Amino acid sequence: AQSVTQPDIHITVSEGASLELRCNYSYGATPYLFWYVQSPGQGLQLLLKYFSGDTLVQGIKGFEAEFKRSQSSFNLRKPSVHWSDAAEYFCAVGGVRSNYQLIWGAGTKLIIKP
Amino acid sequence: GAVVSQHPSRVICKSGTSVKIECRSLDFQATTMFWYRQFPKQSLMLMATSNEGSKATYEQGVEKDKFLINHASLTLSTLTVTSAHPEDSSFYICSAGWGQGNTEAFFGQGTRLTVV
């Protein structure tokens, strides 16, 4: 079955600390992987995406993610978080045949400690 | 990136009335639009997929007579919640994409619907 797992419901980190949000997927075809961020009461903003090529992708706001096919993972990282990074983060997977339909993870809420 | 505008951002309606939510692609032609529903502290649930000029395809468990979707043009799709009830209160988000094989869709800002 196709699925996306974000094992951490919420994560708390101190401002200035590094961050890694985990994402594992199960997908029967070549996966196209996305990370989105949602601020409270807002829509979704694309942070980054992986379609092909270099497995380390850079996104906006200083985020990056690494695609590891052997581990079926696409973890999101940031070397130093800012208070404004507090939000909900969603990992999603899609495929060419999906016609843009994405399978979503449950999300990870990021809490920043001052 | 491409811009998708969703309106209204918030709406409160009385139980039994209908509410229309608009989703517009401002700078591209959206051949496909998606409607999602998001329950508090949960992920997005795909409700339906609409292609311009054809009937929407609804996901299992979504009532097509209650959630009417119209995709009359390449820049506009509407979701009408008919005879709304308090349990329909939720955050509704649309997304839009274009072309064949383009797997990225762009999201609207979402609509917070409260039925009282």
A42/B109 touch (CB, cutoff 8 Å), yes or no:
yes
In contact, A3 and A103? CB cutoff 8 Å: yes
Strand-pair category, A64-68 with B4-7: unpaired
Please state, in angstroms and rounded to a whole number, the distance separating the CA atoms of residues A63 and A72. Answer: 19
B59 touching A (Cβ < 8 Å):
no
Mutation pick from A101, A103, A110 vs chain B, by most beta carbons of B within 10 Å, is A101
CA-based nearest distance A57→chain B, Å? 16
How do residues A69-103 score in pLDDT, each as one tens digit?
999 999 999 999 999 999 999 999 987 544 467 88
Please state, in angstroms and rounded to a whole number, the distance separating the CA atoms of residues A104 and A17. Answer: 27
A107/B43 touch (CB, cutoff 8 Å), yes or no:
yes
How do residues A25-69 score in pLDDT, each as one tens digit?
998 877 889 999 998 777 788 899 998 889 999 999 999 999 999
SS3 B25: strand
For chain A, which residues lie within 8 Å of any Cβ of chain B, measuring from their own Cβ? 32, 34, 36, 41-46, 49, 51, 90, 94-96, 98-102, 104-107, 109
Q: Is the pLDDT of residue B84 over 90?
A: yes
